[in-house]
Structure 1
Amino acid sequence: MVHYDEILKHVGEFGTYQKRMCFFAFLPSLSVSMHMLAMAFLAATPEHRCRAPEAEALAARYNWTEPELLNRTIPWKQDDEGRWVRDSCKRYDLTTVGLNDSYGNRSDWNVTSCDAGWMYDLSQYKTSITIENDIVCEDKWLASMAQAIFMLGVLVGSITFGALSDRFGRKVIMFVANALLGITGIATMFAPNFTVFVILRFVVGAQCMGIYLTNFVLGAEIVGPSRRTLVGTYDYVFFTLGYMLLGGIAYLIRTWRHLQLALSLFSILWISLWWAVTESPRWLLAKGRTGEARAIVEKMAVTNGVDFPHSLWEKMLESKDKLVETPGNGRFYSARDLLRTPNLAKKSAVLFYNWAVLNMVYYGLSLNTSALGGDDYISFFFYGLVEFPALLMSIVVIEKWGRRAPHVMFMVVGGLACICTTFVPSDLFPLTMTLAMIGKFGISAGFNIIFIWTGEIYPTVIRNLGMGVSSMCARLGGIVSPFIALLIDTWKPLPYIVFGGLSVIGGVLCLMLPETLGTPLPQTLEEAENYGKVGSLLCPAVGLKDDPEDRKEADSHDVLLTHPDSQRSFETEL
C-alpha cells in the first residue's frame, strides 16, 4: 500500500515549496502570541493611591505641598520586606479631623477605603482597562478573572475549530478565524465597560486557538514525516517573535485601546496571504478531492525541482489510502483508555500534571513581569527572547541525553530559580531578573520536551487522543494561573514559590516515566502498558533499541507538537 507520505518523500519533505508555505501560514502566529499575552499591558496596574477630594480642596486653599498632602491623606504601612510604604487602598478620613489637628499624631485618625476613587502613576502606562475601571484593591481579582475567561475561550476554540477544520478545510478555517480575530479585536477596543471587554476577550481567545491550531496542522500536513517536529518548532519561533514584538509595540503605544487596535490590524494584513497559502493536499485526499490535491502536489514538485511521481500517485489512489491509519480493528478509543491500566494511568497522571504546571507557570511568569520590579517593557522583551536559546538547547540535549534527564533538569533548575528570586533583596534587581530568566528558560525548554515526550510515550492507537487530553490539561493550568498570581497580595514572594515548587515536583515525578530516545514506539495499549514497566519506580527500564529508520517509518503518521498553544483536531474526539 502506497501512503501519501511516500509522495512527499519523492517531491521533497521540506523543499522550497514547503518552506515558503510554512512561512506564510505561520505569519498569523505573530498575532496569536500578541493577543495571548496582551493582558500584561492591557490590564497593567501602575502605582496608585486613594483620591481624597476634601484634602485636595484644603491643599489648594492652604498651599500644601505634595508631600504635605500625602502625609495628611495616605497612611503608611510596612511591606513584605519591612519597608514603610504608602498604602494603595486606604486613606485618612479628613472629615473627622480638625484642621488644627492635621499636624498632630495621625495614629488616632480614622482610616477608610478609597470611596472617592484612585489616582494613578501615569509615567509608564497612560491608560489600561484596570485604570479606566478602577480594578484595584478589593476588585483586583477581576483582572485575573478576565485572563482566566480568555484561557477558557482558548480551550473552547481548540475544540470548536478542530472539528471545523476537519470538515471545511485547514486554509478556509484558518482565514475565517483570522478575520474574526481582526473583527473582535477591533471591537474590543470600543468595549464600553469591563463586562463587554471580558466577553470579547473570550471570543478573541477562541479565534487565537483557531488560527494556531489550523496553521500548525496545515504546515505539518504538507511536509514529510521526518520534518514534522521541525515544522512545529518553526511555528513556535513565530510565536516567540510575536511575544517580543508585543513588548516593542506596547512600549511605543501606552494607551490600551490604541494598543488593542494596533494588535488587531495585523490580522487585517494577514488576509492578503490567502493567495499565498494553499489547502492541505492530505485533507483534500481525505475528502476525495483528488484533482485539487494533485494540482497542488504537481506545483510542489515543480517548485522543488523534481518530477511529479505519476506511478506512485496512481498506486496511492488505487490502494484507496486513508489519511489516518491506526491498528485496532475498528475499535473506538476514548479518554478512559488513557487510565484503563495501572502503568499507563501512572504515566498519564504524570504527563497531565506536567502539562498543567508548565502552562500555568509559562503564563504566570509571562504575564506578571511587573512583579519583578524594573522596567516592564524590557523585562517582557527579554522574557520572550530567552525562549530562543531554551528551544535550541532542548532540541540539542534530548537527542544526546534523551528526554527524561534533560526534562527533569530543566524543571527542577527552573523551579528552584523561581523560588530563589524570593530571597533576593529588592535593590539587587539584576540578580532577581537573572534568576527569573533562568526560571523562564527552564519552563520553556521543558514545554518543548514534554510535547515530544508525550507523543512517544502514548501508543499509536491513542497517541492523538493522549496529546489532546494533555493539551486540555494545559488549558486548565492556564485558567488557574492568574489566580495564583493574586497570592502576591497575601505575601509578595508566594506566587513564585508556588510556581517554582510545582515545577520542581513535576520534574521529580517525571523520573517515573520511561526514556524513549532510540526505542521502538508502542503501537497498542498492551505495548504501552508494558512500556517502561520493568525497573524501579523512579527509574523505569528503557525500551529496547531499534533502527531509527524503522522507528521513523512506524510512526510516520504521527505529528509531534512543539508548543504550549498547539494541538490538533483530535480534541474533537473526546
Structure 2
Amino acid sequence: MNKQKEIDLDPILLEVGQFGRYQLKNYCLILVPIMFSAIYNSQYIFAAANVPYRCKVPECEADPPKFETNGWGPWALPDGRGRCERFVPLGTTCAADSFHPTDSKLCSSWVYESHDTIVSTFDLACEEWKRTLVGTLHSAGIFLALPLTAYISDNFGRRVAFILTSIAPAAVGLGRSFSQDYVTYCVLEFLDAVVGAGVYSSGFILALEMMGLNKRVLGGNIISCTFAAGQAMVALAAWAIPEWRTLTRVLYVPSFLFVLYFFLIEESVRWLLSKGRKKEAADIIFKAATVNKRKLSPETIKILTDDTPATPDLAKLEADPDKKEDSLVLQVLKSRVMVSRLFICSFWWITVTFIYYGLSINSVSLAGNSYVNYILTALIEIPGYCISVLTLDRFGRKSSIMTAFFICGVSLVCLPFIPVSLSWLQTCMNLLGKLCISMAFSSIYIYTSELYPTTLRHSLVAVCSMAGRIGQVVAPQTPLLMAYMESLPYLLFGIMAGGSGLLMLLTPETLNMRLPDTVRQAEGISTAPRTQHTTDIIVD
C-alpha cells in the first residue's frame, strides 16, 4: 500500500488566518486563567509574610497587649526588641530593677504588630524555617503538578488539562482560607500547587498550537506579560486586603467561573491530528475559517474531508498490521539528538528559574514600600518580554536568548564590585539582570516548545520545566551564601547565565521552522537548510 500523506497544519493555518477572530477569542479566554495562575503562584509571599513581633512580658503588658513597649523595652527586652529572648524577671513589677541586666531566657509567648499573616495566626515567632517552608512546599508541589498535567494534556487533551487546572485551585484555596493549624495550611498549599501549577504550561501550549507560525513569538510574550501583570495584581490586592484569610478568599473564589470554559474553548487541532481524530480537527478548522471569514481552498477541503488516516503512524500500522512501532518515549530515548537536547534544555530551565526567583528574593534590599518593591520587580519583566518580541523573529531564537544570558551574566557579576555609595547603580544592575533573565525565561518557553515533536511536546517541555523547579527550590537559600562571601550569590547567578549562553551553541535555530510532529522531524531541525521563509524540509 502507498503511505498516506500526513496533514500539514501550518499551510492550512495560513488559509484560516494565523491570528484571526477565532484565535483571538480563544487566546483572550486563555489569558484570564494564566493571570490567576500568577496570582496563585505568588500569593503565599504575602500570606506568609514576616510580621514584626516581640516577646510577651506579662509584668509590663497592657490589657490587651500592645506591640509598642511605651518606654519599658530597654530594661525588659535585649536591645529593646527581644524577638526571641527577654531579660529574666526579678520581681512582679515593670520597674527597671525588676529585671536582670544581663541574664536572659527564651520566650514562651509573643506579641505581634499585626495579625495579617499566618505568622501571627499560627504563632510562628522565632521559627523562621516554618515560614519559609511554605514557599518550598509550593515549589515541591510543582514538581508533581507538571508531569501530572503533561500526562493529562498529552493523553486526554490540552483543553481538558487547561480547564481542570484552572478550576481545581479554587476549591483548594478556599479550603485553605479556613485552616485552623499550620500543618493543614501547608498541606493545602502543597495541593494548591499540585492541582493548579500546570495551568500556565497547558494554556501556553493550547494557545501556541492553534497559532500561525509568524504569530508564535508575539502570542507567547503576551502570555508572559499577562503573568507579570498577575504578579503585580496580587501585590495590589494584598495592599488593599492585608488579612490573609480574606485575601485568599477574594483571590480564589473567582476561579470557580472557569467551569464555563467547557462550553467556550475547543481542543487543540494539532493534538487531535496527532491522535488520529481527523474529523474533530476538521470541524474546528472549518469553524475557525467561518469565524475568521476566510475561504479554504478546494485542496484543503479535500484533505480535511478525506477519510484517510491523519497520522503516518496509523497509516503504517494499517499497511502492515504485524509491524510494531517503538513507543514514543522509546524513540526519544534512542535518539542521541533528543536526549542531549533534553539535558541542555533542562539546564537552561534550572538557570532561568534559579536566577529569576533568586533576584526576586534578593530584591527586598530595595528601599521603600514592600508592595511597591514587589510591583516594580514584577513589572520590570514586561520590557524584557517586549524586547524578546522584537528580537526573536528578527535575529533568531539562538542569538536573542544567548545575548540575554550574556548581558544578564555580566550585569550580575559586576554588581558586587559597585561601591555601596552608588546604590542607585546597584539597583539598576539588579533590575537589568531581572529584565534579561525575564526575556530569556519567556523565550526559552517558545524555543523549547519548537524543539520537540507534537506527540510529546507537552511531556518534554514539562520535564524541562520540572527540572527548572530545582532552581526555584534552591533560590530561597541564596542569602545564606552571603555568610561565606557577600558577592557569592550574584557571582553564581552570573556564571550560570554565561554557561547557559554557551550551551545555546549546541542546539539548532528554529526561526521560520514548522513545529515538528514526530521525533524524526524534531531531529531534522538540526540539519535543515536556513531560509527567510517557512521551510518544508521536515519530512518522514
What interval of TM-score do these two structures reach, taking the shorter chain for normalisation? 0.7 to 0.9
Structure 1: unaligned runs, 5 residues or longer: 77-84, 532-542, 558-574
The reply to whether residue 132 of structure 1 matches residue 121 of structure 2 is yes
The structure-2 alpha-carbon separation of the partners of 1:320 and 1:230, relative to structure 1 and needing over 3 Å to count, comes to farther
Q: Deviations over 1:35-66 (max 9, x none)?
A: 00112101110333222223437999xxxx94
| Residue 94 (structure 1) aligns with | 89
1:69 aligns with 2:60: no
With the length of structure 2 as denominator, give the TM-score of the two structures.
0.81
**Aligned partner of residue 111 in structure 1, secondary structure:** strand
Query: Residue 171 of structure 1 contacts residue 278 of structure 1 at CA under 8 Å; is this kept in 2?
Result: yes
Counterparts of 2:313 and 2:121, CA distance in 1: 51
Structure 1 contact 149–202 (Cα < 8 Å) conserved = yes
| Identical residues among aligned pairs (%) | 23
Structure 1 stretch 242-251 or stretch 309-318: which is displaced more?
Answer: 309-318
1:306 Cα deviation from its structure 2 partner: 1.3
Q: Deviations over 1:4-37 (max 9, x none)?
A: 3333222112211101111112211111000001
Specify the alignment match of 2:349 in structure 1.
355
Q: Distance in 2 between matches of 1:455 and 1:526?
A: 14
Displacement of 1:528 in angstroms is: 6.6
How far is 1:353 from its partner? 2.7
Provide the residue aligned with 1:144 in structure 2: 132
Aligned ranges 1:190-205 → 2 under 5 Å:
190-205=178-193
Query: Cα 1:526–1:550, aligned 2, differ >3 Å: closer, same or farther?
Result: closer
Aligned pairs for 1:213-228 within 5 A: 213-228=201-216
Please list the CA deviations of residues 107-132 of structure 1 after superposition, one character each: whole Å capped at 9, or x if unmatched.
xx112233222x3333xxx5111222
Q: Match for residue 321 of structure 2?
A: none
The aligned residue for residue 437 of structure 1 is 431
Deviation at 1:163, TM superposition (A): 1.9
Q: Report deviation, 1:212.
A: 2.1
Task: Give the Cα–Cα distance (whole angstroms) in 2 for the partners of residues 518 and 433 of structure 1.
Answer: 35
For residue 56 of structure 1, give the secondary structure of its aligned residue in structure 2.
coil
534, 544, 547: which is aligned to 2:531?
Answer: 547
Displacement after TM superposition at 1:431 (Å): 5.1
| Residue 298 of structure 1 pairs with residue 286 of structure 2 | yes
Query: Does residue 444 of structure 2 align to residue 450 of structure 1?
Result: yes
Deviation of residue 445 (structure 1)? 1.4
**Closer, same or farther: CA 51–422 of 1 in aligned 2, 3 Å:** farther
**Residue in 1 that maps onto 2:46:** 41
SS of residue matched to 1:93: strand
Q: Cα–Cα, structure 1 residues 38 and 284, in superposed 2: closer, same or farther, change >3 Å?
A: same
The aligned residue for residue 510 of structure 1 is: 501
TM value normalised by structure 1: 0.77
After TM superposition, give the deviation of residue 405 of structure 1 in Å. 5.3
Task: Quote how far apart the aligned CAs of 1:218 are.
Answer: 2.0
Aligned partner of 1:387 in structure 2 is 381
* Contact 2:352-2:468 within 8 A present in 1 as well: yes
Measure the CA separation in 2 of the matches of 1:275 and 1:516. Answer: 39
2:295 & 2:283 partners in 1: Cα distance? 13
**CA distance in structure 1 between the aligned counterparts of 2:399 and 2:228, rounded to whole angstroms:** 25
Distance 1:282 1:251, change over 3 A: same
Find the aligned partners of 1:193 and 1:547 in 2 and give their Cα distance. 61
Aligned match of 1:501 in 478, 481, 492? 492
Question: Does the CA contact (< 8 Å) of 2:154 and 2:459 recur in 1?
Answer: no
| Most deviating of 373-382 and 518-527 | 518-527
Which deviations, in whole Å up to 9, do the C-alpha atoms of 1:64-102 show, x marking residues without a partner? x946312012223xxxxxxxx955333322248998863
- Greater mean alpha carbon deviation, residues 16-25 or residues 204-213: 204-213
Aligned CA RMSD, in angstroms, stands at 4.2
Which residue type is aligned with residue 180 of structure 2?
P
Among 55, 69, 91, the residue aligned to 1:50: 55
Give the structure 1 partner of residue 366 of structure 2. Answer: 372
- Unmatched 5+ residue regions in structure 2? 317-323
Structure-2 change in CA distance of 1:70 and 1:362 (3 Å)? same
User: Counterpart of 2:224 in 1: which secondary structure?
Assistant: helix
Report whether the alignment pairs 1:180 with 2:168: yes
**8 Å contact 2:166–2:255 — kept in the other structure?**
yes
Distance 1:299 1:292 in 2: 11
Residues 430/339 of structure 1: CA separation in 2 closer, same or farther (3 Å cut): farther
CA distance 1:177–1:450, shift in 2 (3 Å)? closer
CA contact (8 A) 2:86 2:104 kept: yes
Match of residue 538 from structure 1: none
Paired position in structure 1 for 2:319: none
Contact 1:178 1:270 in 2 (8 A): yes
Amino acid of the structure 1 residue aligned with 2:496:
I
Asked whether 1:120 is paired with 2:125, we answer no
* Structure 1 residue 110 corresponds to structure 2 residue 103: yes
Partner Cα distance (1:216, 1:99) in 2 = 62
2 CA distance for matches of 1:289 and 1:59? 68
Would the alpha carbon gap of residues 508 and 295 (structure 1) be closer, same or farther in structure 2, given more than 3 Å must change?
closer
What pairs with 1:324-363 in structure 2 (closer than 5 Å)? 330-332=325-327, 334=329, 349-363=343-357
Aligned 8 A contact 1:353 1:506 in 2 = no
**How far apart, in 2, do the equivalents of 1:427 and 1:98 lie?**
47
The aligned amino acid for 1:36 is N
How many residue pairs align between the two structures? 521
Provide the rounded CA distance (Å) in 1 between the counterparts of 2:342 and 2:496: 16
- Render the CA deviation track for 1:490-536: whole Å, top value 9, x for unaligned: 58x95x742552343332453243274588989989997996xxxxx
Between 1:522-531 and 1:378-387, the stretch displaced more is 522-531
Q: What's the offset of the Cα at 1:379?
A: 0.9
SS in 1 for 2:105: strand
Deviations 1:528-551 (A, max 9, x none): 7996xxxxxxxxxxx886223354
Match status 1:20 vs 2:1: no
Is residue 2:263 matched to residue 1:275? yes
Q: SS at the partner of 2:164?
A: helix
Match of 1:322 in 2: 311
Contact 2:22 2:292 in 1 (8 A): yes
Mean Cα deviation higher: 26-35 or 293-302:
293-302
Residues 387 and 371 of structure 1: is their aligned pair in 2 closer, same or farther, counting only changes over 3 Å?
Answer: same
User: CA-to-partner distance for each residue in 1:318-361, whole Å, 9 max, x for gaps?
Assistant: 44222999x9x9444659967986x9877665543331121123
Residue 11 of structure 1 contacts residue 301 of structure 1 at CA under 8 Å; is this kept in 2?
yes
Corresponding residue for residue 469 of structure 1: 463
- The 2-side partners of 1:456 and 1:174 are apart by 20
Residue 250 (structure 2) pairs with residue 262 (structure 1): yes
Counterpart of 1:212 (choices 169, 179, 200) is 200
Q: In structure 2, what is the Cα distance between the partners aligned to 1:431 and 1:114?
A: 42
* 1:218-269 superposed Cα distances (whole Å, 9 cap, x missing partner): 2123223443343322322221221111121111111111111111023123
